[in-house]
Amino acid sequence: MPRTESVKKAMRQSAKKRLVNIKRKTDLKAVIKNYKNLIAEGKKDEAIKLLPQVYKKLDKTAKVNVIKDNKASRLKSRLSKMAK
């Protein structure tokens, strides 16, 4: 167990950040899943309307380093290709 106060504080901070990052990642996965379900159902118009929200989630998660920038770019490319 940590002995110094600074290490205890760092552990508290990392635990909070971990929960926030998990929330961000699950939100991203939910939006992508919703988008893919719309594509599978053949509702491409609705999926195209949802695409900016998907991009926003990808950009936000990449900005705070939950996912890497190249992964965000790769997912954006693949998801936009699905709509065409």
pLDDT per residue over 37-69, tens digit each?
Answer: 999 999 999 999 999 999 999 999 999 999 999
H or E element at residue 40: helix 5-41
Residue 44 in domain: yes
Q: Is residue 23 one of the residues assigned to a domain? A: yes
Two tokens at 63?
A: 């900005």
Predicted pLDDT at 84: 83
Buried/exposed 23-51: b ≥16 CB within 10 Å, e otherwise: ebeeebeebbeebeebbeeeeeeebeebb
Please give the Cα distance from 23 to 26 (Å, whole number). 5
Residue 4 resides in a domain: no
In a domain, 8, yes or no: no
CA-based R_g, the chain, Å: 17
Domain membership of residue 22 as a residue range = 15-83
* pLDDT at residue 72 tops 90: yes
pLDDT in tens, 19-37: 999 999 999 999 999 999 9
Which candidate, 17, 52, 20, 15, places its Cα nearest to that of 35?
Answer: 52
Looking at residue 70, which CATH number applies to its domain?
1.20.58.110
Residue 2 domain-assigned? no
Output the pLDDT for position 2.
82
Q: How much is the pLDDT for 66?
A: 96
Number of domains the chain contains: 1
Inside any domain, residue 73: yes
